[in-house]
Amino acid sequence: MIDNIIFTGNVVAPVFLLVALGYILKRLNIINENFVDVTSKFVFSVSLPALVFINLVDIDLSAAIDLNQIIYIYSATLITFFLIWIFSAAIIKDAKNLSVFVQGAYRSNYAIVGLAIISKLFGESALGKATILLAFILPLYNVLAVIILTVPFRKERKLNLKTTLSEIVFNPLIVAVIAGFPFSYFKIKIPEVGILTIDFLAELALPLALIGIGGSLNVQNIKKASGIAFTSSAIKVVLIPFILTLGSYYFGYRGLDLGIMFVLFACPTAIVSFIMAEAMGANSKLAGNIVLISTIASVFTIAAGIVILKELSLI
């Protein structure tokens, strides 16, 4: 038990220490809102796509893609999404709060926090398979976000289908996935200078993104957070990872596969949920509180989950 706790601490602590560093730097005025905004755009548009691309080109797609695993993750995500929506709609009548509650409860920050933890937990060699899952889950997350941030407001505004599809297809991470697949499938070699350049960009992605998360946090908002924010966060970092990881175990997943799926389900709410809520007229303050609470809580829930899985020799 002690060995597993120490191992888990070594995995989880560096990730969230970078988040804490970002928060401290913001408090000390070493970084500001503009830094967070600019670096977030850079990570999302350049550095993270470089990480996704470079990890895709180095893997054997035929060995990495597990169709049954993808079907399970899709089914689990869709079922939880609609169940959360159905049950919360009976209690939360304000569309601005309902849409944010549902998005906060299902949408994982897998691209940043998830990949960082997986690389520490299983080594960088595991990022190839983790990236494949990202390639499939990201479009689903985006489509569901558009649905939940649009349908509850159907009496107030109409969905611009063309704009929505364009945003999904031209998402930088999706573009990186599409660009990476031919290189992986046809074993196309990239010149060494190209590899090194992309590697340099990719290495910036996770630390810069984690510092940005910390810089965007406002702990004072926890005092003002509503029960809705705490409930959505609890569903995201406690209920969903427990139920869906248990389902993964039931369907026979062990080792690397089970570990990646647990991390995917257990990650805190994605920061982009706040951005989308603000852009689409939902309660962005509530969205920010959910991101904050789930991020802080996930330090403990992810660590506890890894310790339990290690103790049971499942990963």
Dump pLDDT digits (tens) for 57-113.
877 777 678 899 999 999 999 999 999 999 999 999 899 999 999 999 999 999 889
Q: What is the pLDDT of residue 159?
A: 60
Residue 245, class by beta-carbon neighbours within 10 Å (0-12 exposed, 13-18 middle, 19+ buried)?
Answer: buried
As a dihedral over the C-alpha atoms of residue 53, residue 54, residue 58, residue 60, rounded to 10 degrees, the angle is -20
Using 70 as the pLDDT threshold, list the residues of the chain that sit under it: 63, 154-161, 164, 167-168
Find out whether 120 and 10 touch, Cβ atoms under 8 Å. Answer: yes
SS3 127: helix
* Alpha-carbon distances, residue 6 vs 12, 114, 308 (angstroms): 10, 20, 13
Q: Which of 277, 292, 300 is nearest to 224 (CA)?
A: 292
Backbone φ and ψ for 108, nearest 5 degrees, come out as -85, 145
